Amino acid sequence: MGTKSKAEEWDSFYQSHNVFGKAYPELVEFLKQINPKKSLLDLGAGQGRDAIAAQQLGFEVTAVDISKEGIQQIRANGIRGVVDDIFNYTLDQNYQVILLDAVIHCQPEDQEEEKKLFKAIEEHLHQEGYLLLLTHQWDMREKYLEDLFKKQYPTLRLQFNNYIEHIFTPPQSEEESIMELSFMCFQKHKNQ
Ligand SMILES: C[S@@+](CC[C@H](N)C(=O)[O-])C[C@H]1O[C@@H](n2cnc3c(N)ncnc32)[C@H](O)[C@@H]1O
């Protein structure tokens, strides 16, 4: 008793403003060059730093998160927000871009549900649409994901895997942190 659920933990965390800082400039630059801009699904959207940047660029954005607090903050920006578990969420339409920023961990206990989600994503991306996967930089994870997509989701082809350095000051801290990230972009092609 008294143990907070994962959603409640995130709700408390999001009492602080803008916990993860701004959307990465590299992500924003990538989104800018997609034309015309259509629909974007942000899975595990948090407080919406990426969803808001995408909406400002002209995408029609849907944001999903288990945190009610995060989704309320996102809705306050006029974005369609859904409170749900992304691993149980039924994708209700096809999207041009699907974004997973700091949500996929590839730990052995997570891999089965993550694979089901990747399958659903493969089925719900527009032709030539993009899956954007941002994770903490870790060679082994990148290699795992690269091999997994080649084998199990052949229509989603890796276009690039770029290194990003993100400098930010976490809440309740005065010191800057440096986060090293991997930005993987998969594009959907017809399977030949
Ligand atoms: C590290 S934060 C990243 C938030 C956001 N993507 C960003 O980069 O600012 C992880 C987010 O994933 C959400 N999350 C974790 N597991 C989830 C799940 N199973 N379903 C929906 N959201 C989940 C958490 O609530 C949290 O908002």
Residue 145 CA to ligand 1 center (angstroms) comes to 19
111 domain-assigned:
yes
Residue of 66, 82, 99, 111 to mutate, ligand 1, most atoms within 8 A of C-beta: 66
Q: Quick check: bond before 36 cis, omega within 30? A: yes
Per-residue confidence (pLDDT) for residue 14, from 0 to 100: 94
Per-residue confidence (pLDDT) for residue 192, from 0 to 100: 61
12 domain-assigned:
no
Secondary element (H or E) of residue 72: helix 68-75
1 domain-assigned:
no
80 domain-assigned:
yes
Query: How many other CB atoms sit within 10 Å of the CB of residue 91?
Result: 18
* Interatomic CA distance for residues 154 and 148, integer angstroms: 9
- Which domain does 67 fall in, by range? 23-188
Query: Which pTM value belongs to this model?
Result: 0.96
* Closest C-alpha to 131, from 30, 19, 20: 30
Tell me the three state secondary structure of residue 145.
helix
Q: Is 82 exposed, middle or buried (0-12, 13-18, 19+ CB in 10 A)?
A: middle
10 domain-assigned:
no
Per-residue confidence (pLDDT) for residue 137, from 0 to 100: 94
Q: Tokens 């994503």 label which residue? A: 121
124 domain-assigned:
yes
Per-residue confidence (pLDDT) for residue 16, from 0 to 100: 86
106: Cβ contacts below 8 Å, ≥ 6 apart: 114, 135, 141, 144, 145
Name the domain count of the chain. Answer: 1
Report yes or no: 46 and 65 within 8 Å, Cβ to Cβ. Answer: yes
Report yes or no: 135 and 182 within 8 Å, Cβ to Cβ. Answer: yes
Residue 126 CA to ligand 1 center (angstroms) comes to 24
CA distances from 152 to 17, 88, 122, 138, 155 (A): 39, 20, 10, 21, 9
Handedness of CA 188, 45, 115, 180 (dihedral sign): positive
114 domain-assigned:
yes
Output the tens digit of pLDDT for each of the chain's 192 residues: 457 899 999 999 999 888 888 999 999 999 999 999 999 999 999 999 999 999 999 999 999 999 999 999 999 999 999 999 999 999 989 999 999 999 999 999 999 999 999 999 999 999 999 999 999 999 999 999 999 999 999 999 999 999 999 887 877 788 888 889 999 999 999 876
87 domain-assigned:
yes
CATH number at residue 50: 3.40.50.150
Residue of 103, 111, 134, 168 to mutate, ligand 1, most atoms within 8 A of C-beta: 103
